[in-house]
A and B are shown apart, each in its own frame.
Chain A
Amino acid sequence: MSNILLSAHDLTVRFGGVLAVNGVSFEVRQGEVFTLIGPNGAGKTTVFNLISRIYTPTSGYLDYQGQRLSDVPAHAVAAMGIARTFQNIELFEHATVLQNLLIGLHVHNRIGFWRQMLFTPTVRDAERATRQKVEEVIDFLDLQHYRDTLVAGLPYGVRKVVELARALCTDPQLLLLDEPSSGLNVEETADMAFWIQDIQQDLGITVLMVEHDMSLVSKVSNRVLAMNQGEVLAVGEPAQVQAHPAVIEAYLGGSFNAANLRRKA
């Protein structure tokens, strides 16, 4: 449990005059569920976008398994074993669930363009193997029923699961979940909690997630990091963090000094 998979060192991101993330450092250990919490605009999703290389930090850096992430182009992050979901589902709407999941396996494609164009037996075998892996994920997340349905026609809750499935198809070591329970009803949230636990325990995948639903957070997380206005408030076990005075102040407001909530930069 103590091997460090991902570590952030003094991450800072500035968008013009806005300091979105300010000197954030944390470590994600192999095999744990690590959750980022914080009020809206705290910079949680920005941290995610830094890890998946959509943004580049203004200063500071990220290390993943001893490799500097800022040296890696955005499209190569998935091949390193980092998969993610998005807060506002980014699926391929006009494709079926199956096609969406097949794209998840894109990083494992080793066959050149010409052989694909001729559709040689090697390609056919690779396609079968790809499909086999997709079917395993479909079984894992109970998506059999939706396999050939267009994503555009699916309810929100199912799309959330499909996005999780697509991330799992890349065969990741680190899974980034951006608000897995947003827009889900109580039962779907409970299912999501089970799946996150299964992903951690059965598949041995490290999970880093952003989440607002505190019951889900305390149910599945090993450690929690609370952020506000781009800065780290507290790190530790869920109960510790929830009891931390700075966290309570960030969520509920301080009784004495409202100026504390303002951005300092």
Chain B
Amino acid sequence: MRFIFKTRYDQDIQLAKHSGHVWAYSLLLLLLCLAPWLMEEYWLAQLTFVLIYGIVGLGLMVLAGFTGLFSIGHAAFMGVGAYVAAVLSGHGVSFPISVTMAAGLSAIVGAVVGLPALRVKGIYLGIATLAFGFIVEEGLARWESVTGGNAGIHVKVVSILGWQANSGEKFYAVCLVLAVLCTLAVLNVLRSPTGRAFVAIRDSEISAQSMGIHLAYYKTLSFMMSSALAGIGGALYAHKMQFISPDQFGILQSVDLLLMVVIGGLGSVHGAFLGAIFLITMPQLITLGKDFLPAFIGQAPGLQAVVYGLVLIGFVMFEPMGLYGRWLKIRTWFELFPFYRKGMFKRQKSFQKSDRLK
């Protein structure tokens, strides 16, 4: 077991809490950088999707996991980002500008959607965001002059000052850079006063308010940050798919995103990426498993939805902290061996109780 002897305040401020973190994350980054040489084309594409969904998941994690506001229409923000990137790159705008515009416009839309969040809570906010998701999907389908309607729109390859990300490896590099930058930005916000204000709002609004936290400002900020990240993810998604249509950003995608953060582990940055890995690999596993199942189950339509549903129910019942919570338990088991007790994580069952203010 590792004992950290703290002698400086910086040890609590730094992102890497001890030398083990430095090694582990350096190794992870090194492996990710080397991935194009280590992986086949297909798996690299899957990894690219993990990074893209990871960025969107980060956004939803900030909103749902850290501020306690649930959005069941998050794919809509992704859609806004995707279409901004698609349309702008179609006009020959350079990628750094188009992705910034995608993030910015998504953030503005997020601020508008955040307005009901100041008044409604819990399930009602869920319904409001769900309705918003439908509005965006419908809007994208109807605004044919710009979006191409239900016929969809082709997206050009990423180009930065003449450099074209015209292969899987190059585009993977773009995604990796953005994913690392977004993760660092989120981690920085979470360790500074803004992040603490988010968590305070999640745990007790009434108390946060009496500590001088401006609820409306921070809830809007959380919505904006979350939707900006979804916008960035959406822009990358558009470039990866090379073809987007409104139905890719509908309710199913939103549910997938929510599923991702809940299974990954609400309230942890790791959870966003673990959830993304789950979301991307699960269909492959299901496909692999099909051959071993009896035909009437294996070939049944909607198998994937059933499996997702079961997994979600399982997580909510047995592992509310998600994959990251499971990892923490496994790690603690090894660290404390043979002294691990079953009750050590008992107090995790309810993760938020923010519905206190009126």
Residues on A lying within 8 angstroms of B by beta carbon are: 52, 54, 73-79, 83-84, 86, 90-95, 98-99, 102-107, 109, 111, 113, 116-119, 123-124, 127-128, 130-132, 150, 152-153, 166, 170
Contacts and interface: CB of A to CB of B under 8 A. Distances in A.
B191 interface: yes
B206 A116 contact: no
A152 B202 CA distance: 15
A95 to B, nearest CB: 6
Interface in B200-218: 200, 202-204, 206-215
Given A94-B351, A103-B196, A74 B203 contact: no
Contacts of B199: 92, 94-95, 99, 103
B188 A118 contact: yes
Contacts of A98: 12
Which one of B199, B200, B202 has the greatest number of beta carbons of chain A within 10 Å? B200
B304 interface: no
Given A90-B210, A111-B192, 13 more contacts: A54-B206, A54-B210, A75-B209, A93-B203, A94-B203, A102-B196, A103-B213, A109-B193, A116-B189, A117-B188, A117-B192, A118-B188, A170-B212
**Closest CB pairs A-B (n = 3):** A78-B212, A107-B212, A90-B207
Given A117-B185, A123-B192, A103 B200 contact: yes
Interface of B: 9-10, 12-13, 185, 188-189, 191-194, 196-197, 199-200, 202-204, 206-215, 221, 267, 347, 351-353, 356
A103 B194 contact: no
Nearest to B188: A119
A128 B214 CA distance: 23
Contact of A106 (B189, B191, B211): B211
Nearest to B221: A113
- Which of A93, A117, A132 has the most CB atoms of chain B within a 10 A radius of its CB? A117
A127 B192 contact: yes
A10 B209 CA distance: 26
B9 A106 contact: no
B204 A91 contact: yes
Given A94-B267, A128-B10, A103 B197 contact: yes
17 contacts: A75-B209, A78-B210, A83-B210, A91-B203, A92-B200, A92-B203, A94-B352, A95-B199, A103-B197, A103-B200, A113-B189, A113-B221, A116-B193, A116-B194, A118-B188, A150-B347, A166-B211
